[in-house]
Structure 1
């Protein structure tokens, strides 16, 4: 079972005093966090914006954030990379309360939706549009009524749906996510979970 991770770089650009494009930094992301203990995913927080349209500063500084937060800032965006290790029995046997605790560790307890009979114990839903790109490996996207395995190069457009990620491959899956703050349309404001 391959559970080894390898680092990646975050390259941040900006402008010099004359308005010319420059590279400000070239290094791994400065914030990463293992969620849920051994066997849980590792989140690499790459960047966020606090508003849209995003203000473009000549020399942007590291966006401040207190701890790991599941959703992007309201009216903002976030890009993160998540490394999902192979899913073990400890995940498959989670209770709804234990799953909610894991989401709460990311200020996302309200997003947890698992209940008896749910297709996966880590089902969750956020009021966001997320672009998920598989960089390495494969993972199964589980929704209320179906699932599909996505592989390196595949892209998921997650439209505020109830879902979970299940790595059944035996190897790490690395995905990049662009999270965009959203709002449910009136017909989805009281979703049936």
Structure 2
């Protein structure tokens, strides 16, 4: 199978290649022969794969067909950065030199791994950690911002899994995106 490439929006980053494994009619492990192109949903964010439920249903390649579909919770075209419960998304996020996301939170637990460059992960409480390739964040519904503090491009890969809403300082956890002036912004 030819690898699928994301269309990099950030100069200096090579396209990601995604390979999907499956089984042939004899039960031997093989690479899947057909898959859709990676679709860039937002500037620098590409959904590499998704499943509609966890545990995922892999029998008869139900997951692959759902991902290839034009509609549905597991579709490569589904809106949002967190899947509806009980699904999971795998995303690749590219950050240009000096680029930052908005401060935001999602109703999810995200496992994010820096794979290229340096990335700052800032919390609304003021704390920041710098991630280097191999460093990772377990993001648990907290308000956060991603930024690339360098003059070179950066990339992280994340798996987003919905979580049950819970109370934070007396308020129910909800998806929130702040504009640059720290006022709530409409949901993605």
TM norm. shorter chain > 0.5: yes
* 2:17 equivalent in structure 1: 9
Q: What is the correspondence of 1:31-42 to structure 2 with a 5 Å cutoff?
A: 31-35=39-43, 42=44
* 1:61 equivalent in structure 2: 65
Find the partner of 2:144 among 163, 180, 191. Answer: 163
| RMSD of Structure 2 on Structure 1 (CA) | 2.7
What SS is found at the alignment partner of 1:61? helix
The answer to whether the aligner puts 1:51 opposite 2:53 as a matched pair is yes
Which stretch has the larger CA shift, 129-138 or 165-174?
165-174
Which stretch has the larger CA shift, 4-13 or 125-134?
4-13
Instruction: Summarize deviations over 1:61-114 as a string: whole Å, max 9, x none.
Output: 3602435522123211000111011225xx6xxxxxxxxxxxxxxxxxxxxxxx
The answer to whether the aligner puts 1:21 opposite 2:36 as a matched pair is no
> Normalised by the size of structure 2, how large is the TM-score?
0.72
C-alpha distance in 2, partners of 1:189/1:26?
A: 48
Instruction: Summarize deviations over 1:34-72 as a string: whole Å, max 9, x none.
Output: 42xxxxxx1121100101111013433360243552212
> Normalised by the size of structure 1, how large is the TM-score?
0.70
* 2:135 equivalent in structure 1: 154
1:174 to 1:153, Cα distance in 2 relative to 1, 3 A: same
The unaligned stretches of length 5 or more in structure 2 are 1-9, 68-74, 177-188
C-alpha distance in 2, partners of 1:8/1:166?
A: 20
- 1:10–1:26: 8 Å Cα contact kept in structure 2? no
- 1:125–1:161: 8 Å Cα contact kept in structure 2? yes
1:134 to 1:18, Cα distance in 2 relative to 1, 3 A: same
- 1:49–1:73: 8 Å Cα contact kept in structure 2? no
- 1:3–1:171: 8 Å Cα contact kept in structure 2? no
The offset of 1:134, in angstroms, is 0.4
Find the partner of 1:86 among 97, 119, 137. Answer: 97
- 2:94–2:156: 8 Å Cα contact kept in structure 1? yes
What SS is found at the alignment partner of 1:75? coil
Instruction: Summarize deviations over 1:99-148 as a string: whole Å, max 9, x none.
Output: xxxxxxxxxxxxxxxxxxxxxx7110101000000000011101012111
1:11 to 1:188, Cα distance in 2 relative to 1, 3 A: farther
- 2:165–2:172: 8 Å Cα contact kept in structure 1? no
- 2:39–2:77: 8 Å Cα contact kept in structure 1? no
